[in-house]
């Protein structure tokens, strides 16, 4: 039997939600639907966005209301227009096989007369933002005397936005005996207070532990110098060619500036903030939903209620002033069972805030290193290679050109042609990143907060030295191969070798400081298939504690390639040209549409960090 039927939902509705792809109830639906269907409880649900909240209250409402009667029976209050429209739309979808269900969306920034007309025609469910709702109540244009259920959705955010008084006034027009269902992603004391004020002995349901974010979200942070923020941010984006992300800034100005800079630099980005007209906001959201935008730069308030599935990353370009907002922000990713990453780009002074959020969420954040220019180039190259590999060929259309194309390439080997296609865009990246500096700021671990909790590796002199070797995956080395090769050549024990990082034409490996001499000695005069093998101290120390500026040398100097012979392990042979030829420079163009990853124009200039601050209440 369909699990929703088992929960007590009627066939008409189950058929409709099956079409929407709801096969099994989400945990919050499973637990709240049976309780709400009794219609006899007040209810508090502590749940993140994206967990299926709308159906959790929406399906019971459709079961409980009497649609033969044409007057308001349920009122759903929510903080933003987007959420209001989305809830309305969802309810209409669930009810599409039911007769005489009338749902109206009431929100600011749109014609009030249209909304009044809809209300006059008769509605049972009103979904509203508080400001406009109050306006309509004050015009005596609606009668809530027969309301049976009030839903306060995203209650914490409504309070954050200062709707407390409006909510009080609206609720005073509804009957005493109605039931109130409150949903909130977080439970600050303000929400506790309104729960107490409006409800009697509510049934409480907490999904996950209190304030814990979605389990499917990984939290990462990068420590940079304030002046490198924009460059570091771009590098993170470039390192994730398939990113489909929301970038949070604290102020409208910052939002706009970052979006403009990104657009100038050839990214598919746009901003969403309160200064935009409703029409402009709709347009931006439409483009984002359709994925013609890859990055949406938003303020906290503007991004509330955005329900876009498949958001891969949330980036905190600036940390929010309130911890609760971090939960809201990160909840924009990992929706409907997917996974996602929430990234914070911080300076050393903000480490204490990260610790505070960690404690509130009960989750450990992982410190990441800003990828080197080389890392980005390599990642983008393979993203391009995969794209070429997987592209759908329109056989019919291309056929007419095939012989001319073949003719152009007739004197080239398959390898040459592949390299040329890859280089076409790859060169631009290489060009942009060839002298890219290390953007990781030195970490002062003493800047922890007062709890003294030390959950990450402490600094101090490393026992390991990181060595560079001019052999890599292009020579057929895997990590294991390289370990074997290093041990054989330098006669050190495999157990003493630390982290091995195999790159394309070179690699890094760590050995204990007191083994460095032995390794250097062992590799003296070594050659690999006729080529000199070079070992150098990379100058970075342990990868965990990179110090500023050290990354430059390896990025600038090591693309030299040269002629390489067949691989190390397989020895598949064949003459290989140096994998990554030096860029020819110039030839930059802007790519128009980059959704789903691609190469861009990298004229990127550095921008200053603009922490112009907001004016919100509870600060860290
Ligand atoms: P919500 O938390 O209500 O905004 O829902 C988040 C997303 O999950 C929306 O896109 C819903 O359509 C989707 N969703 C909700 N419930 C289910 C379900 N039982 N199965 C599959 N998807 C669902």
CA distance to 354, 414, 439, 543, per residue, from 223 (Å): 11, 44, 9, 14
Residues of the chain with CATH 3.30.70.330: 464-597
Judge whether residue 572 has pLDDT over 80. no
- How many Cβ atoms from other residues are within 10 Å of residue 534's Cβ? 13
Task: Supply 255's token pair.
Answer: 């939002």
pLDDT at residue 234, rounded to an integer: 94
Report pLDDT digits (tens) over 310-366: 899 999 999 998 887 898 888 888 776 677 899 999 998 898 899 888 877 777 888
Evaluate whether 500 touches 483 at the Cβ level (below 8 Å): yes
pLDDT at residue 214, rounded to an integer: 65
The pLDDT of 30-43, averaged and rounded, is 93
Residues of the chain with CATH 3.40.50.300: 3-206, 217-370
Q: Round to whole Å and give the CA distance between 597 and 243.
A: 7
The pLDDT of 71-85, averaged and rounded, is 93
Ligand 1 geometric centre to CA of 330 (Å): 17
Report pLDDT digits (tens) over 189-248: 788 888 888 898 899 887 754 334 567 888 999 999 988 999 999 999 999 988 999 999
| Residue-level length of the chain | 620
Q: Round to whole Å and give the CA distance between 41 and 25.
A: 21
Q: Domain 3-206 belongs to what architecture?
A: 3-Layer(aba) Sandwich (3.40)
Ligand 1 contacts CB of residue 49 (under 6 A): yes
CATH topology of domain 217-370: Rossmann fold (3.40.50)
Ligand 1 contacts CB of residue 304 (under 6 A): no
pLDDT at residue 550, rounded to an integer: 31
Task: Supply 206's token pair.
Answer: 């907490």
Nearest atom in ligand 1 to the alpha carbon of residue 86 is 4
pLDDT at residue 19, rounded to an integer: 93
Nearest atom in ligand 1 to the alpha carbon of residue 22 is 20
Mean pLDDT for the chain overall: 80
Evaluate whether 546 touches 438 at the Cβ level (below 8 Å): yes
Judge whether residue 388 has pLDDT over 80. yes
pLDDT at residue 212, rounded to an integer: 45
Strands (E) in 125-216, as ranges, are: 125-128, 149-152, 179-184, 203-206
Q: Round to whole Å and give the CA distance between 506 and 374.
A: 11
pLDDT at residue 543, rounded to an integer: 36
> How many helical (H) and strand (E) elements, i.e. helices and strands, does the chain have?
22, 20
Judge whether residue 410 has pLDDT over 80. yes
| Weakest-pLDDT range from 61-65, 165-169, 309-313 | 309-313
Q: Which of 181, 336, 338 to mutate to test the pocket of ligand 1 (most atoms within 8 A of CB)?
A: 336
Ligand 1 contacts CB of residue 335 (under 6 A): yes
The pLDDT of 251-276, averaged and rounded, is 90
Ligand 1 geometric centre to CA of 556 (Å): 48
Ligand 1 geometric centre to CA of 52 (Å): 4
| Weakest-pLDDT range from 147-156, 181-190, 307-316 | 181-190
Q: Round to whole Å and give the CA distance between 484 and 397.
A: 51
Report pLDDT digits (tens) over 413-436: 988 888 888 787 778 777 788 778
pLDDT at residue 213, rounded to an integer: 53
pLDDT at residue 250, rounded to an integer: 86
Judge whether residue 454 has pLDDT over 70. no
Ligand 1 contacts CB of residue 26 (under 6 A): yes
CA distance to 143, 257, 323, per residue, from 176 (Å): 14, 49, 34
Ligand 1 contacts CB of residue 429 (under 6 A): no
CA distance to 59, 87, 225, per residue, from 25 (Å): 11, 18, 46
Ligand 1 contacts CB of residue 305 (under 6 A): no
**How much is the CA Rg of the chain, to the nearest whole Å?**
29
Ligand 1 contacts CB of residue 25 (under 6 A): yes
**Cα 330 to the chain's mean position, in Å?**
7
Tokens 């290679």 found at: 385
Ligand 1 contacts CB of residue 309 (under 6 A): yes
Nearest atom in ligand 1 to the alpha carbon of residue 309 is 10
| Weakest-pLDDT range from 27-36, 78-87, 185-194, 445-454 | 445-454
pLDDT at residue 144, rounded to an integer: 97
Ligand 1 contacts CB of residue 54 (under 6 A): yes
Ligand 1 geometric centre to CA of 214 (Å): 14
Give phi and psi for 154, each to the nearest 5. Answer: 50, 55
Judge whether residue 81 has pLDDT over 60. yes
What CATH number should be reported for the domain whose range is 464-597?
A: 3.30.70.330
Judge whether residue 450 has pLDDT over 70. no
pLDDT at residue 265, rounded to an integer: 87
The pLDDT of 270-294, averaged and rounded, is 88
Judge whether residue 45 has pLDDT over 50. yes
Nearest atom in ligand 1 to the alpha carbon of residue 50 is 2
Cα dihedral sign, 169-170-171-174: positive
């Amino acid at each position: 039997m369909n699990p929703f039927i088992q929960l007590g939902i009627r066939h008409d509705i189950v058929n409709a939600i099956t079409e929407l792809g709801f096969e099994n109830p989400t945990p919050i639906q499973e637990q709240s639907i049976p309780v709400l269907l009794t219609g006899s409880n007040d209810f508090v649900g502590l749940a993140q966005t994206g967990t299926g909240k709308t159906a959790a209250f929406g399906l019971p409402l459709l079961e409980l209301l009497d649609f033969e009667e044409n007057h308001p029976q349920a009122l759903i209050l929510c903080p933003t227009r987007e959420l209001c429209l989305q809830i309305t739309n969802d309810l209409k979808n669930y009810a599409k096989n039911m007769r005489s269900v009338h749902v109206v969306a009431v929100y600011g920034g749109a014609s009030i007369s249209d909304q009044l007309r809809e209300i006059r025609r008769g509605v049972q469910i009103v979904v509203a933002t508080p400001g406009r709702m109050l306006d309509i109540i004050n015009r005596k244009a609606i009668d809530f005397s027969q309301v049976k259920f009030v839903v306060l959705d995203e209650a914490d955010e409504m309070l954050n936005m200062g709707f407390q008084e409006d909510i009080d006034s609206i609720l005073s027009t509804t009957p005493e005996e109605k039931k109130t269902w409150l949903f909130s992603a977080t439970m600050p004391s303000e929400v506790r207070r309104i729960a107490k004020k409006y409800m009697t002995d509510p049934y409480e349901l907490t999904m996950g532990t209190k304030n814990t974010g979605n389990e499917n979200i990984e939290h990462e942070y990068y420590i940079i110098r304030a002046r490198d923020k924009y460059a570091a941010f771009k590098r993170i984006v470039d390192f994730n060619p398939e990113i489909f992300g929301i970038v949070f800034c604290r102020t409208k100005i910052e939002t706009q500036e970052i979006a403009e800079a990104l657009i100038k630099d050839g990214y598919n980005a746009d901003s969403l903030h309160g200064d935009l007209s409703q029409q402009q906001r709709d347009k931006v959201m439409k483009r984002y939903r359709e994925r013609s935008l890859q990055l949406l730069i938003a303020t906290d308030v503007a991004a509330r209620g955005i329900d876009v599935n498949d958001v891969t990353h949330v980036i905190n370009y600036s940390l929010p002033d309130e911890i609760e907002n971090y939960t809201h922000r990160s909840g924009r990713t990992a929706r409907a069972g997917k996974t996602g990453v929430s990234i914070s780009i911080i300076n050393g002074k903000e480490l204490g805030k990260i610790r505070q959020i960690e404690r509130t969420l009960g989750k450990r954040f992982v410190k990441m290193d800003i990828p080197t220019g080389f890392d980005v180039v390599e990642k983008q190259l393979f993203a391009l290679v995969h794209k070429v590999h997987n592209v759908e060929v329109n056989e019919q259309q291309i056929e007419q050109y095939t012989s001319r194309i073949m003719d152009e390439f007739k004197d080239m080997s398959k390898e040459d042609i592949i390299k040329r296609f890859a280089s076409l865009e790859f060169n631009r990246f290489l060009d942009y990143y060839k002298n890219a500096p290390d953007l990781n700021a030195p970490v002062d671990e003493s800047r922890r907060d007062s709890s003294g909790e030390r959950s990450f590796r402490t600094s101090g002199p490393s026992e390991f030295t990181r060595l560079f070797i001019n052999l890599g995956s292009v020579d057929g080395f895997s990590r294991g191969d390289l370990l074997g090769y290093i041990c054989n050549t330098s006669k050190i024990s495999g157990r003493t070798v630390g982290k091995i990082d195999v790159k394309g034409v070179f690699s890094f490996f760590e050995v204990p400081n007191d083994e460095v001499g032995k390794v250097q000695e062992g590799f003296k005069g070594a050659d690999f298939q006729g080529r000199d093998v070079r070992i150098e101290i990379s100058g970075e120390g342990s990868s965990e504690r990179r110090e500023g500026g050290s990354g430059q040398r390896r990025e600038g100097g090591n693309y030299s390639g040269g002629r390489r012979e067949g691989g190390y392990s397989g020895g598949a042979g064949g003459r290989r040209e140096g994998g990554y030829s030096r860029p020819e420079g110039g030839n930059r163009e802007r790519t128009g549409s980059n959704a789903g990853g691609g190469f861009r124009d990298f004229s990127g200039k550095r921008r200053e960090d603009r922490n112009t601050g907001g004016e919100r209440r509870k600060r860290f």
